[in-house]
Amino acid sequence: MSKLQLPNTKLFINNEWVESISGNKFKTFNPVNEELICEVSEGDKADVDKAVIAARNAFENGVWGTTMTAEDRGKTILKLADLIQDHKEKLAQLETMDCGKSIVSAREDIDFCVRVIRYFGGWADKIQGKTIPISSEFTSITKHEPIGVVALIVAWNYPLMLLCWKLGPALAAGCTIIAKSSEFTPLTALYLCDLIKEAGFPPGVFNLVSGLGSTVGNALSHHLDIDKISFTGSTVTGRKIMEGAAKSNLKPVTLELGGKSPNIFFADCDIEHCVNAAKDYVFSNNSQNCCFSSRFFVHESIHDAFLTLFTEKIKQIKVGNPYDESNHLGPLVSKQQFDRVLGYIEKGKSEGAKCHLGGSKHHHADGKGYFVQPTIFTNVTDNMTICKEEIFGPVVVILPFKTVDEVIKRANNTTYGLAAGIWTKDISLALNVSNKLKAGSVWINNYDNCLPQVPFGGFKQSGIGRDLSEYAIQSYLSIKAVTISHKTLHAQQN
């Protein structure tokens, strides 16, 4: 691969590239070879304040909130989608270099970014209120107005895609934005800024303040002039975001957090089909996926056959340089994440689980990189750490079950509730189980099938609110009720 040209690494405020006020920078590393990619301007509270002023001005006084029609706003959003499509390969290459996902997966992510932005671009001129007939004397109307200046904070595992999930509905609603990417994977968000400017977004509509969660994230969540915050990341950080919103101006929050998702394989499922499907999705994105199906519940009558075939398929997974299109599993995003996942693997072994496959670092050709072997644990109990906590790495536990009621209870026995999978030929059984699972997304005979039209989010400690779909747009709107007295109008006419 020829040397990849990097994006501008400054802060993007009011459609201009500017240095951070402090002049500080942070480093981002390539997880394949552990080498420094570049240094990025590190914002802090002062830069957030500057970005908020730009966003507030664009919302209150700029063309985005006043003279531009909803139709023209939609056209601008659609122009951005076209530009992302045009720059797909560059964005995919940057994504792979920065976070280690396979180049094939990165291209698929960029394709989905285009679909999401186009979907919400089409929504811009279709956001409408209602007329409510009250009586012969009163009529009420509702107006759906943009909530205002919003903060978008995204995780490092899908850097551009998660940003687009939030950017699309916020722009369609008419909001202005301050975004923060992860300090681990900042590059594609930086590249997007030039595309936003080229698409014709007025100054201040989109601002990007790169930096650390403890400074930029904290400043955004506590800011008194930000009207909403949307965050994707860990449950621990989600609590801090919510606390900051509560302690400041009670801004509403959307939180898409962690998961420990169950995948249930009933006795009548087609084992070969299920295993082939599982091989494709279970270690996608290097298993750094909030809805990763890390708990496999397999009916006892097919458990041994399933495990044997699943093991054979997972042994076929190629681990290595993500730029090689034949490799399926790349490195974890950082040394911190690498050490964390290996720590969970050792915890599983120490608590008595059997490491059936993998269980250690994958030794790459030059010995560098944060590669972990695809790992399968058996002889696992529901109270073991690896069965309860989110690992965010290529580690799966296989758990046999006997009855439907038992597996529903065990699947729900988690503080999380993001996603679940059901595999069976019996559609009545599938629907009955799906009704009883406490999860925001339930996939039947498929898994991790996210679509722009379908809401995504969690129950319990997996979050609040939804990304994607019409439901996401609603969270960026304020509803105003206007009640009109017919009697008063009649009196004035007389």
Identify the structural domains of the chain with CATH numbers, from first to last.
11-257 (3.40.605.10), 262-444 (3.40.309.10)
pLDDT above 50: residue 1: no
| Percentage of residues in the chain having pLDDT higher than 70 | 98
| Mean pLDDT computed over 54-72 | 90
The model's pLDDT over 210-248, given as tens digits with 9 standing for 90+, comes to 999 999 999 999 999 999 999 999 999 999 999 999 999
- Tens digit of pLDDT for each residue in 152-202? 999 999 999 999 999 999 999 999 999 999 999 999 999 999 999 999 999
Position 308, amino acid: T
What's the chain's average pLDDT?
A: 95
CB-neighbour burial class of residue 435 (10 A; exposed 0-12, middle 13-18, buried 19+)? exposed
pLDDT at 347 over 90: yes
Q: What are phi and psi of 25, to 5 degrees?
A: -135, 155
- The residues assigned a catalytic role are 256
Mean pLDDT of all residues in 307-330: 93
Residue % of the chain over a pLDDT of 90 = 90
Beta strand segments in 14-73, E: 16-18, 25-29, 36-41
Q: What integer pLDDT is reported at residue 316 of this predicted model? A: 93
What is the CA angle 310-456-281, rounded to 5? 15
The mean pLDDT value for 365-372 works out to 86
Q: How far apart are CA 266 and CA 253, in angstroms?
A: 37
Mean pLDDT of the 107-114 span = 98
Side chain identity at residue 355, one-letter code: C
CA separation for the pair 124, 477 (Å, rounded): 12
* CB contact at 8 A, 27 and 212: no
Nearest to 171 by CA among 253, 67, 78: 78
